[in-house]
Structure 1
Amino acid sequence: MRLYLASTSPARRALLAQSGIEPVLVSPGVDEDAAAAAAAAALGRDLTGPELVSLLAVAKASAVADADVAGSPVDGFVFGGDSAFEVDGRLYGKPHDPAVARERWRQMLAAGGGTLWSGHCVVDRRRDLDPATGRTGGPDAARAVPPVRSLVTSPAGVPELGDVAPGGSALAAGGDRVVAVDSAVLTFADDVSADEIDAYVATGEPLEVAGAFTIDGRAAAYITRIDGAPSAVIGMSLPVLRSMLLRGFGIAWHDLWSL
Protein backbone atom coordinates (compact mmCIF):
# COMPACT_ATOMS: atom_id res chain seq x y z
CA MET A 1 0.00 0.00 0.00
CA ARG A 2 1.50 3.33 -1.07
CA LEU A 3 2.08 6.30 1.23
CA TYR A 4 2.72 9.70 -0.33
CA LEU A 5 4.68 12.13 1.84
CA ALA A 6 3.66 15.72 1.14
CA SER A 7 7.14 16.89 2.02
CA THR A 8 10.72 16.67 0.84
CA SER A 9 12.03 16.54 4.42
CA PRO A 10 14.91 14.05 4.73
CA ALA A 11 14.08 13.65 8.44
CA ARG A 12 10.47 12.61 7.81
CA ARG A 13 11.50 10.25 5.03
CA ALA A 14 14.16 8.71 7.29
CA LEU A 15 11.63 8.18 10.08
CA LEU A 16 9.36 6.24 7.74
CA ALA A 17 12.22 4.31 6.16
CA GLN A 18 13.46 3.23 9.57
CA SER A 19 9.95 1.96 10.26
CA GLY A 20 9.91 -0.14 7.09
CA ILE A 21 7.92 2.29 4.94
CA GLU A 22 9.26 3.74 1.68
CA PRO A 23 7.13 6.82 0.90
CA VAL A 24 6.73 8.67 -2.36
CA LEU A 25 8.06 12.19 -1.72
CA VAL A 26 6.11 15.06 -3.28
CA SER A 27 6.68 18.76 -2.64
CA PRO A 28 3.29 20.27 -1.68
CA GLY A 29 4.12 23.77 -2.88
CA VAL A 30 2.12 25.43 -0.10
CA ASP A 31 2.80 29.05 0.90
CA GLU A 32 2.80 28.41 4.65
CA ASP A 33 3.09 32.04 5.72
CA ALA A 34 0.20 33.11 3.49
CA ALA A 35 -2.04 30.24 4.65
CA ALA A 36 -1.36 30.99 8.31
CA ALA A 37 -1.88 34.73 7.84
CA ALA A 38 -5.18 34.21 6.04
CA ALA A 39 -6.51 31.95 8.78
CA ALA A 40 -5.41 34.34 11.52
CA ALA A 41 -7.09 37.24 9.72
CA ALA A 42 -10.31 35.24 9.39
CA LEU A 43 -10.25 34.36 13.09
CA GLY A 44 -9.26 37.86 14.15
CA ARG A 45 -6.46 36.55 16.35
CA ASP A 46 -3.19 34.65 16.27
CA LEU A 47 -3.35 30.90 15.79
CA THR A 48 -2.49 28.61 18.66
CA GLY A 49 0.23 26.00 18.20
CA PRO A 50 -2.21 23.12 17.56
CA GLU A 51 -4.25 25.28 15.17
CA LEU A 52 -1.22 26.36 13.15
CA VAL A 53 0.33 22.94 12.67
CA SER A 54 -2.98 21.20 11.91
CA LEU A 55 -3.96 23.92 9.41
CA LEU A 56 -0.69 23.57 7.50
CA ALA A 57 -0.71 19.77 7.69
CA VAL A 58 -4.15 19.74 6.04
CA ALA A 59 -3.05 22.27 3.41
CA LYS A 60 -0.01 20.18 2.44
CA ALA A 61 -1.84 16.85 2.33
CA SER A 62 -4.72 18.35 0.33
CA ALA A 63 -2.36 19.90 -2.22
CA VAL A 64 -0.73 16.56 -2.99
CA ALA A 65 -3.91 14.47 -2.77
CA ASP A 66 -5.42 16.28 -5.73
CA ALA A 67 -2.26 16.43 -7.84
CA ASP A 68 -0.77 14.13 -10.44
CA VAL A 69 2.49 12.47 -9.43
CA ALA A 70 4.79 11.36 -12.24
CA GLY A 71 1.89 11.80 -14.64
CA SER A 72 -0.60 9.68 -12.71
CA PRO A 73 -3.24 10.45 -10.05
CA VAL A 74 -2.35 9.68 -6.47
CA ASP A 75 -3.26 6.11 -5.48
CA GLY A 76 -2.85 5.49 -1.77
CA PHE A 77 -2.67 7.58 1.38
CA VAL A 78 -1.23 11.09 1.54
CA PHE A 79 0.45 12.40 4.70
CA GLY A 80 1.00 16.08 5.38
CA GLY A 81 2.76 17.36 8.47
CA ASP A 82 3.95 20.56 10.09
CA SER A 83 5.79 21.53 13.26
CA ALA A 84 6.19 24.59 15.46
CA PHE A 85 8.02 25.15 18.74
CA GLU A 86 6.33 27.16 21.47
CA VAL A 87 8.28 28.99 24.17
CA ASP A 88 6.50 31.10 26.79
CA GLY A 89 3.43 31.39 24.58
CA ARG A 90 5.36 32.37 21.44
CA LEU A 91 5.48 30.12 18.37
CA TYR A 92 8.75 29.59 16.53
CA GLY A 93 8.98 28.24 13.01
CA LYS A 94 12.07 27.99 10.83
CA PRO A 95 14.53 30.83 11.57
CA HIS A 96 16.19 30.85 8.11
CA ASP A 97 18.69 33.52 9.23
CA PRO A 98 21.70 32.77 11.53
CA ALA A 99 21.11 35.91 13.62
CA VAL A 100 17.48 34.89 14.19
CA ALA A 101 18.55 31.35 15.11
CA ARG A 102 21.07 32.62 17.68
CA GLU A 103 18.51 34.90 19.30
CA ARG A 104 15.93 32.10 19.44
CA TRP A 105 18.40 29.82 21.14
CA ARG A 106 19.13 32.48 23.77
CA GLN A 107 15.40 32.84 24.39
CA MET A 108 14.78 29.07 24.50
CA LEU A 109 17.64 28.49 26.92
CA ALA A 110 16.45 31.34 29.14
CA ALA A 111 13.03 29.67 29.32
CA GLY A 112 14.57 26.26 29.94
CA GLY A 113 12.50 24.49 27.28
CA GLY A 114 9.25 24.52 25.39
CA THR A 115 6.58 22.52 23.58
CA LEU A 116 6.98 21.03 20.12
CA TRP A 117 3.62 20.90 18.31
CA SER A 118 3.37 18.38 15.46
CA GLY A 119 0.42 18.51 13.06
CA HIS A 120 -0.69 15.52 10.96
CA CYS A 121 -3.19 14.98 8.17
CA VAL A 122 -3.82 11.74 6.27
CA VAL A 123 -6.01 11.80 3.16
CA ASP A 124 -7.38 8.61 1.58
CA ARG A 125 -6.81 8.56 -2.16
CA ARG A 126 -6.95 4.80 -2.76
CA ARG A 127 -8.45 4.07 -6.14
CA ASP A 128 -9.75 0.54 -5.50
CA LEU A 129 -13.02 1.80 -3.98
CA ASP A 130 -16.08 -0.36 -3.57
CA PRO A 131 -18.56 0.96 -6.19
CA ALA A 132 -21.48 0.17 -3.86
CA THR A 133 -20.16 2.24 -0.96
CA GLY A 134 -17.63 4.53 -2.62
CA ARG A 135 -15.11 3.33 -0.02
CA THR A 136 -12.56 0.61 0.61
CA GLY A 137 -14.05 -0.14 4.00
CA GLY A 138 -12.33 3.03 5.20
CA PRO A 139 -13.28 5.74 7.67
CA ASP A 140 -16.90 4.97 8.56
CA ALA A 141 -16.38 1.24 9.07
CA ALA A 142 -13.09 1.63 10.91
CA ARG A 143 -14.19 4.20 13.44
CA ALA A 144 -15.86 1.54 15.53
CA VAL A 145 -12.38 0.30 16.49
CA PRO A 146 -12.15 2.47 18.54
CA PRO A 147 -14.45 5.53 18.13
CA VAL A 148 -12.94 8.76 16.85
CA ARG A 149 -14.32 12.26 17.32
CA SER A 150 -15.81 13.82 14.19
CA LEU A 151 -13.66 16.27 12.30
CA VAL A 152 -15.05 19.80 12.24
CA THR A 153 -13.37 22.67 10.40
CA SER A 154 -13.95 26.33 11.31
CA PRO A 155 -14.97 28.90 8.66
CA ALA A 156 -11.32 29.99 8.74
CA GLY A 157 -10.29 26.52 7.56
CA VAL A 158 -8.76 25.50 10.90
CA PRO A 159 -9.49 21.95 12.17
CA GLU A 160 -11.27 22.12 15.54
CA LEU A 161 -9.54 19.52 17.71
CA GLY A 162 -10.39 21.01 21.08
CA ASP A 163 -7.91 22.07 23.74
CA VAL A 164 -4.63 20.18 23.52
CA ALA A 165 -2.41 20.52 26.57
CA PRO A 166 1.40 20.54 26.20
CA GLY A 167 2.48 16.93 26.04
CA GLY A 168 -0.98 15.82 24.89
CA SER A 169 -2.57 14.86 21.58
CA ALA A 170 -5.90 14.95 19.74
CA LEU A 171 -7.33 13.14 16.72
CA ALA A 172 -10.46 13.59 14.59
CA ALA A 173 -11.76 11.95 11.41
CA GLY A 174 -14.23 12.98 8.75
CA GLY A 175 -14.88 11.99 5.16
CA ASP A 176 -11.66 11.05 3.42
CA ARG A 177 -9.27 12.40 6.04
CA VAL A 178 -7.97 12.17 9.57
CA VAL A 179 -6.32 15.11 11.32
CA ALA A 180 -4.26 14.93 14.50
CA VAL A 181 -1.94 16.94 16.68
CA ASP A 182 0.72 15.52 18.97
CA SER A 183 3.11 17.39 21.23
CA ALA A 184 6.25 16.87 23.25
CA VAL A 185 7.68 18.98 26.06
CA LEU A 186 11.44 19.50 25.84
CA THR A 187 13.93 20.52 28.52
CA PHE A 188 17.23 22.10 27.50
CA ALA A 189 20.54 21.75 29.33
CA ASP A 190 21.09 24.63 31.74
CA ASP A 191 24.78 25.11 30.98
CA VAL A 192 24.85 25.73 27.21
CA SER A 193 27.25 28.60 26.49
CA ALA A 194 27.12 31.39 23.93
CA ASP A 195 30.10 29.79 22.16
CA GLU A 196 28.15 26.53 21.83
CA ILE A 197 25.19 28.38 20.36
CA ASP A 198 27.43 30.16 17.85
CA ALA A 199 29.14 26.92 16.86
CA TYR A 200 25.82 25.13 16.39
CA VAL A 201 24.26 27.92 14.31
CA ALA A 202 27.42 28.05 12.16
CA THR A 203 26.77 24.47 11.01
CA GLY A 204 23.59 25.65 9.28
CA GLU A 205 21.62 22.75 10.77
CA PRO A 206 19.09 24.84 12.74
CA LEU A 207 18.19 27.31 9.98
CA GLU A 208 15.48 25.31 8.19
CA VAL A 209 13.87 23.40 11.07
CA ALA A 210 11.09 24.42 13.45
CA GLY A 211 12.46 25.85 16.68
CA ALA A 212 16.02 26.02 15.30
CA PHE A 213 17.05 22.57 16.54
CA THR A 214 16.94 18.87 15.72
CA ILE A 215 17.11 15.95 18.12
CA ASP A 216 18.40 13.63 15.41
CA GLY A 217 21.44 15.82 14.79
CA ARG A 218 23.95 18.00 16.61
CA ALA A 219 21.39 19.55 18.96
CA ALA A 220 20.67 16.22 20.69
CA ALA A 221 23.45 16.94 23.19
CA TYR A 222 21.70 20.12 24.35
CA ILE A 223 18.35 18.47 25.17
CA THR A 224 18.15 16.68 28.51
CA ARG A 225 14.55 15.48 28.55
CA ILE A 226 11.64 14.82 26.17
CA ASP A 227 8.15 14.19 27.52
CA GLY A 228 6.30 12.78 24.52
CA ALA A 229 7.08 10.81 21.37
CA PRO A 230 10.65 11.58 20.21
CA SER A 231 9.57 11.07 16.59
CA ALA A 232 7.12 13.98 16.96
CA VAL A 233 10.08 16.25 17.59
CA ILE A 234 11.82 14.98 14.45
CA GLY A 235 8.89 15.68 12.16
CA MET A 236 5.99 13.28 12.65
CA SER A 237 4.67 11.28 15.57
CA LEU A 238 4.88 7.67 14.44
CA PRO A 239 2.54 6.43 17.22
CA VAL A 240 -0.06 9.02 16.21
CA LEU A 241 0.32 8.25 12.49
CA ARG A 242 -0.19 4.56 13.24
CA SER A 243 -3.33 5.40 15.24
CA MET A 244 -4.65 7.66 12.47
CA LEU A 245 -4.37 4.87 9.89
CA LEU A 246 -5.90 2.26 12.19
CA ARG A 247 -8.69 4.30 13.74
CA GLY A 248 -9.50 6.35 10.67
CA PHE A 249 -9.17 3.78 7.90
CA GLY A 250 -8.81 0.34 9.47
CA ILE A 251 -5.25 0.05 8.11
CA ALA A 252 -2.65 -1.77 10.19
CA TRP A 253 0.82 -0.24 10.42
CA HIS A 254 2.44 -3.32 8.89
CA ASP A 255 0.22 -2.98 5.82
CA LEU A 256 2.46 -0.11 4.75
CA TRP A 257 5.74 -1.93 5.26
CA SER A 258 7.89 -2.39 2.17
CA LEU A 259 8.51 -6.13 2.19
Structure 2
Amino acid sequence: MQLVLASASPARLKTLRQAGVEPEVIVSGVDESQLDGLPPAELALQLAELKCAAVAEGPLPDGAALVLGCDSVLEHDGRALGKPGDADEATVRWREMRGTSGVLHTGHCLREVTTGRVAAATASTTVHFADVSDDEIAAYVATGEPLQVAGAFTVDGLGGAFVARIEGDHHNVVGLSLPLLRDLLAELGHTWTDLWEAGA
Protein backbone atom coordinates (compact mmCIF):
# COMPACT_ATOMS: atom_id res chain seq x y z
CA MET A 1 0.00 0.00 0.00
CA GLN A 2 2.14 2.85 -1.32
CA LEU A 3 1.84 6.23 0.41
CA VAL A 4 2.46 9.43 -1.53
CA LEU A 5 3.60 12.38 0.58
CA ALA A 6 2.37 15.68 -0.88
CA SER A 7 5.04 17.77 0.82
CA ALA A 8 8.54 19.07 0.17
CA SER A 9 9.37 18.95 3.90
CA PRO A 10 12.51 16.91 4.60
CA ALA A 11 11.43 16.68 8.26
CA ARG A 12 8.13 15.00 7.35
CA LEU A 13 9.91 12.56 5.05
CA LYS A 14 12.47 11.74 7.76
CA THR A 15 9.71 11.24 10.35
CA LEU A 16 7.94 8.72 8.12
CA ARG A 17 11.14 6.89 7.23
CA GLN A 18 12.16 6.60 10.88
CA ALA A 19 8.72 5.08 11.56
CA GLY A 20 9.23 2.41 8.90
CA VAL A 21 7.32 4.09 6.06
CA GLU A 22 8.98 4.79 2.70
CA PRO A 23 6.71 7.20 0.79
CA GLU A 24 6.91 8.58 -2.71
CA VAL A 25 7.27 12.37 -2.59
CA ILE A 26 5.33 14.66 -4.94
CA VAL A 27 5.35 18.38 -4.15
CA SER A 28 1.94 20.01 -4.53
CA GLY A 29 2.94 23.51 -5.60
CA VAL A 30 -0.10 24.97 -3.79
CA ASP A 31 -0.05 28.75 -3.26
CA GLU A 32 -0.22 28.98 0.54
CA SER A 33 -1.08 32.69 0.54
CA GLN A 34 -4.54 32.09 -0.96
CA LEU A 35 -6.11 31.31 2.43
CA ASP A 36 -4.76 34.24 4.47
CA GLY A 37 -7.17 35.40 7.16
CA LEU A 38 -8.42 32.01 8.38
CA PRO A 39 -8.04 30.97 12.05
CA PRO A 40 -4.71 29.11 12.49
CA ALA A 41 -6.06 25.57 13.03
CA GLU A 42 -8.49 25.90 10.13
CA LEU A 43 -5.76 27.36 7.92
CA ALA A 44 -3.47 24.39 8.59
CA LEU A 45 -6.23 21.90 7.76
CA GLN A 46 -7.42 23.64 4.60
CA LEU A 47 -3.88 23.94 3.26
CA ALA A 48 -3.32 20.23 3.96
CA GLU A 49 -6.54 19.44 2.07
CA LEU A 50 -5.51 21.61 -0.89
CA LYS A 51 -2.06 19.99 -1.08
CA CYS A 52 -3.54 16.51 -0.89
CA ALA A 53 -6.10 17.26 -3.61
CA ALA A 54 -3.55 18.89 -5.91
CA VAL A 55 -1.32 15.81 -5.85
CA ALA A 56 -4.12 13.21 -5.83
CA GLU A 57 -5.68 14.73 -8.95
CA GLY A 58 -2.39 14.75 -10.86
CA PRO A 59 -0.37 11.89 -12.31
CA LEU A 60 0.59 9.39 -9.60
CA PRO A 61 3.19 6.60 -9.60
CA ASP A 62 2.04 3.03 -10.25
CA GLY A 63 0.85 1.40 -7.06
CA ALA A 64 0.01 4.64 -5.28
CA ALA A 65 -2.81 3.87 -2.83
CA LEU A 66 -2.91 6.87 -0.49
CA VAL A 67 -1.98 10.55 -0.71
CA LEU A 68 -1.08 12.50 2.44
CA GLY A 69 -1.08 16.30 2.54
CA CYS A 70 0.18 18.19 5.59
CA ASP A 71 0.65 21.80 6.57
CA SER A 72 1.84 23.40 9.81
CA VAL A 73 0.99 26.80 11.27
CA LEU A 74 2.13 28.29 14.57
CA GLU A 75 -0.57 30.12 16.51
CA HIS A 76 0.99 32.85 18.66
CA ASP A 77 -1.06 35.58 20.31
CA GLY A 78 -3.97 34.62 18.09
CA ARG A 79 -1.99 35.04 14.86
CA ALA A 80 -1.20 32.37 12.29
CA LEU A 81 2.52 32.24 11.58
CA GLY A 82 3.91 30.28 8.66
CA LYS A 83 7.46 30.62 7.34
CA PRO A 84 8.95 34.09 7.90
CA GLY A 85 9.52 36.11 4.74
CA ASP A 86 13.07 37.16 5.58
CA ALA A 87 15.68 37.34 8.35
CA ASP A 88 14.27 40.58 9.77
CA GLU A 89 10.83 39.04 10.16
CA ALA A 90 12.31 35.93 11.79
CA THR A 91 14.21 38.12 14.26
CA VAL A 92 11.10 40.11 15.20
CA ARG A 93 9.12 36.90 15.65
CA TRP A 94 11.69 35.36 17.95
CA ARG A 95 11.84 38.49 20.08
CA GLU A 96 8.06 38.23 20.46
CA MET A 97 8.03 34.46 21.06
CA ARG A 98 10.87 34.11 23.57
CA GLY A 99 9.69 33.26 27.07
CA THR A 100 6.13 32.65 25.81
CA SER A 101 4.19 29.74 24.36
CA GLY A 102 2.34 29.03 21.14
CA VAL A 103 0.33 26.21 19.60
CA LEU A 104 1.69 24.38 16.58
CA HIS A 105 -1.20 23.16 14.42
CA THR A 106 -0.55 20.57 11.71
CA GLY A 107 -3.35 19.76 9.30
CA HIS A 108 -3.39 16.24 7.88
CA CYS A 109 -5.44 15.09 4.90
CA LEU A 110 -5.32 11.47 3.71
CA ARG A 111 -7.03 10.44 0.45
CA GLU A 112 -7.57 6.95 -0.86
CA VAL A 113 -6.65 6.98 -4.54
CA THR A 114 -9.08 4.33 -5.83
CA THR A 115 -12.22 5.50 -3.98
CA GLY A 116 -11.50 9.19 -3.43
CA ARG A 117 -12.48 8.81 0.23
CA VAL A 118 -10.85 11.36 2.53
CA ALA A 119 -10.00 11.46 6.23
CA ALA A 120 -8.70 14.74 7.63
CA ALA A 121 -7.94 16.30 11.01
CA THR A 122 -5.62 18.74 12.76
CA ALA A 123 -3.18 17.89 15.54
CA SER A 124 -2.23 20.68 17.96
CA THR A 125 0.76 20.80 20.30
CA THR A 126 1.64 23.55 22.79
CA VAL A 127 5.23 24.76 22.49
CA HIS A 128 6.97 26.69 25.28
CA PHE A 129 9.87 28.80 24.06
CA ALA A 130 13.00 29.50 26.10
CA ASP A 131 13.83 33.07 27.07
CA VAL A 132 16.65 33.36 24.53
CA SER A 133 18.95 36.38 24.26
CA ASP A 134 19.23 38.81 21.36
CA ASP A 135 22.62 37.30 20.52
CA GLU A 136 21.18 33.79 20.43
CA ILE A 137 18.34 34.97 18.18
CA ALA A 138 20.79 36.69 15.82
CA ALA A 139 22.99 33.60 15.63
CA TYR A 140 20.01 31.32 15.03
CA VAL A 141 18.51 33.50 12.32
CA ALA A 142 21.94 33.72 10.64
CA THR A 143 21.91 29.92 10.17
CA GLY A 144 18.92 30.30 7.83
CA GLU A 145 17.00 27.48 9.52
CA PRO A 146 14.14 29.66 10.85
CA LEU A 147 13.38 30.88 7.33
CA GLN A 148 12.60 27.35 6.13
CA VAL A 149 9.95 26.33 8.68
CA ALA A 150 6.53 27.30 9.99
CA GLY A 151 6.80 29.41 13.13
CA ALA A 152 10.51 30.09 12.50
CA PHE A 153 11.71 27.24 14.70
CA THR A 154 12.46 23.52 14.74
CA VAL A 155 12.37 21.11 17.65
CA ASP A 156 14.51 18.53 15.81
CA GLY A 157 17.25 20.85 14.51
CA LEU A 158 19.31 23.83 15.57
CA GLY A 159 16.29 25.41 17.26
CA GLY A 160 15.75 22.45 19.59
CA ALA A 161 17.69 24.09 22.43
CA PHE A 162 15.36 27.09 22.27
CA VAL A 163 12.22 25.01 22.91
CA ALA A 164 11.90 24.64 26.67
CA ARG A 165 9.14 22.01 26.55
CA ILE A 166 6.10 20.85 24.63
CA GLU A 167 2.67 19.57 25.62
CA GLY A 168 1.39 16.99 23.16
CA ASP A 169 2.79 14.97 20.28
CA HIS A 170 6.47 15.67 19.57
CA HIS A 171 6.16 14.39 16.00
CA ASN A 172 3.45 16.96 15.32
CA VAL A 173 5.91 19.78 16.03
CA VAL A 174 8.29 18.23 13.51
CA GLY A 175 5.46 18.41 10.99
CA LEU A 176 3.54 15.13 10.97
CA SER A 177 1.64 13.46 13.82
CA LEU A 178 2.20 9.72 13.56
CA PRO A 179 -0.61 8.86 16.04
CA LEU A 180 -3.06 11.02 14.08
CA LEU A 181 -1.97 9.48 10.77
CA ARG A 182 -2.61 6.04 12.28
CA ASP A 183 -6.13 7.18 13.24
CA LEU A 184 -6.80 8.55 9.75
CA LEU A 185 -5.66 5.26 8.21
CA ALA A 186 -8.06 3.37 10.48
CA GLU A 187 -10.88 5.71 9.46
CA LEU A 188 -10.28 4.62 5.84
CA GLY A 189 -10.13 0.94 6.81
CA HIS A 190 -6.35 0.48 6.80
CA THR A 191 -3.80 -0.31 9.50
CA TRP A 192 -0.56 1.47 10.30
CA THR A 193 1.42 -1.70 9.68
CA ASP A 194 0.08 -1.85 6.11
CA LEU A 195 2.44 1.06 5.41
CA TRP A 196 5.42 -0.90 6.70
CA GLU A 197 4.72 -3.66 4.22
CA ALA A 198 4.61 -1.15 1.37
CA GLY A 199 8.15 -0.01 2.14
CA ALA A 200 9.57 -3.49 2.72
TM-score when scaled to structure 2? 0.95
Asked if structure 2 preserves the Cα contact closer than 8 Å seen for 1:97 and 1:207, the reply is: yes
Residue 220 (str. 1) matches residue 136 (str. 2): no
Structure 2 residue aligned with 1:193, among 105, 109, 133?
Answer: 133
How far 1:208 sits from its partner (Å)?
A: 1.6
Structure 1 outlier segments of 4+, above 6 Å: none
The residue matched to 1:82 in structure 2 has which SS? strand
Give 1:49-60 correspondences, 5 Å limit: 49-60=40-51
How far 1:96 sits from its partner (Å)?
A: 3.1
The structure that is helix-richer by fraction is: 2
CA RMSD of aligned residues (A): 1.4
TM-score when scaled to structure 1? 0.74
In the alignment, which residue of structure 2 is the partner of 1:18?
Answer: 18
Structure 1 residue aligned with 2:142, among 202, 206, 219?
Answer: 202
Residue 81 (str. 1) matches residue 70 (str. 2): yes
How far 1:47 sits from its partner (Å)?
A: 1.1
Residue 239 (str. 1) matches residue 179 (str. 2): yes
Note the residue ranges of structure 1 that are not aligned, 5 or more in a row.
Answer: 38-45, 127-134, 136-174
Residue 184 (str. 1) matches residue 125 (str. 2): yes
Give 1:45-194 correspondences, 5 Å limit: 46-69=37-60, 75-109=64-98, 112-126=100-114, 176-190=117-131, 192-194=132-134
In terms of Rg, which structure is larger?
A: 1
In the alignment, which residue of structure 2 is the partner of 1:168?
Answer: none
How far 1:29 sits from its partner (Å)?
A: 1.2
How far 1:75 sits from its partner (Å)?
A: 2.7
Asked if structure 2 preserves the Cα contact closer than 8 Å seen for 1:94 and 1:212, the reply is: yes
How far 1:31 sits from its partner (Å)?
A: 0.8
How far 1:214 sits from its partner (Å)?
A: 0.5
How far 1:69 sits from its partner (Å)?
A: 3.2
- Counterpart CA distance in 2 for 1:32 and 1:183 is 19
Asked if structure 2 preserves the Cα contact closer than 8 Å seen for 1:96 and 1:208, the reply is: no
Asked if structure 2 preserves the Cα contact closer than 8 Å seen for 1:122 and 1:178, the reply is: yes
Aligned length: 198
The residue matched to 1:57 in structure 2 has which SS? helix
How far 1:109 sits from its partner (Å)?
A: 1.1
- Counterpart CA distance in 2 for 1:211 and 1:58 is 20
- Counterpart CA distance in 2 for 1:209 and 1:19 is 21
- Counterpart CA distance in 2 for 1:47 and 1:75 is 32
- Counterpart CA distance in 1 for 2:143 and 2:23 is 28
The residue matched to 2:98 in structure 1 has which SS? helix
Once the two structures are superposed, residues 81-123 of structure 1 have per-residue CA deviations (whole angstroms, 9 ceiling, x without a partner) of 001101111111100300000000001115x111101100000
Once the two structures are superposed, residues 203-240 of structure 1 have per-residue CA deviations (whole angstroms, 9 ceiling, x without a partner) of 00010200000001011111111001011011111110
